[in-house]
Amino acid sequence: MSRKPIIAGNWKMNLLRGQAKDLFEGIKSFVKDYSAKELPTIVIAPVFTSISAVEAVKCDCGCGGTKISIAGQNCHWENSGAYTGEVSVEMLKDAGCDYVIIGHSERRQYFSETDEMINKKAKAILAGGLIPIICCGETLEQRESGVTDQHIASQIRAALSGISSEDVAKSVIAYEPIWAIGTGKTCDSDEANRVIAMIRNVVKDVAGAEAADSIRILYGGSVKPNTIAEQMSKSDIDGALVGGASLKADSFNEIIANTMKVVVSK
């Protein structure tokens, strides 16, 4: 089984439409020199209001839209209805998204998202033909009190509950220790790899060996151009979910370039 690396940029609540378009163009001008086969899977998650701005310039490079995919940063599990302020999977698909990030710690923390809601979202995303990027991670307090593995295993079991092995296999998980997000404190790559291997074991337990071997599990938390090569060299880390360093074309492109330099079969 070979797992194609993913480099995903989570732009969070940043960039106006013009800025989003410019940044996207900056990434496009880098990837145009490479084939989709050479590149990692590249996913960009702009704010909802900028999706159309990046979508409009996505497919004019002749790649048929295969080099850069777009993700929503959140979704609702219903298709439509009286849910003021929410966006459905069908709407994200209609806007040009292939992926949806769910369960980010910022949504869990500031918007009270529960494991149950994340599970409903994951099911809706897969039913709608999109791919969930399911985030998990521990607080510093949890890490210091030694409950990291237990906490993450329970987040993953809940998120994947009732999802078929086939759907689990095509999903993406992002391990993002909360204490490493936006702090400049990258998790030691051996430790990140250990946690990710643990997550893969949980996936094996709930969905079988084939799904565990196929699912791509990313690391997120202060990923920078100078950290990615070591992270990518680890056995179980299949890519990165990048926040701050995805907001500048230079640093994001360097992360992509450094990922391509690490040739490993996982």
CA distance 217 to 214: 9
CA distance 164 to 188: 33
Beta strands in 106-263, from DSSP E residues, in sequence order: 131-136, 172-175, 216-220, 239-242
Binding mask of the shown chain, residues 115 to 154, with x at each position contacting ligand 13P by CB under 6 A: ----------------------------------------
CA distance 255 to 251: 6
At closest approach, how far in Å is the CB of 221 from ligand 13P? 5
CA distance 9 to 68: 11
Residue 151 appears among annotated catalytic residues: no
220 is an interface residue for ligand 13P by CB under 6 A = yes
The single residue of 104, 106, 113, 138 carrying the catalytic annotation is 104
Beta strands in the chain, from DSSP E residues, in sequence order: 6-10, 41-45, 68-72, 99-102, 131-136, 172-175, 216-220, 239-242
Binding mask of the shown chain, residues 2 to 21, with x at each position contacting ligand 13P by CB under 6 A: --------x-----------
Interactions with ligand 13P, residue window 175-204 (CB under 6 A):
176, 181-182
Residue 230 appears among annotated catalytic residues: no
At closest approach, how far in Å is the CB of 64 from ligand 13P? 27
Distance of CA 241 to the CA centre of its chain: 5
Interactions with ligand 13P, residue window 89-108 (CB under 6 A):
104
Length of the chain: 266
**Cβ-proximal residue to ligand 13P, closest one:** 243
Closest CB to ligand 13P among residues 76, 104: 104
**Residues at the interface with ligand 13P (CB under 6 A):** 10, 104, 176, 181-182, 220-223, 241-245
Active-site positions read: 104, 176
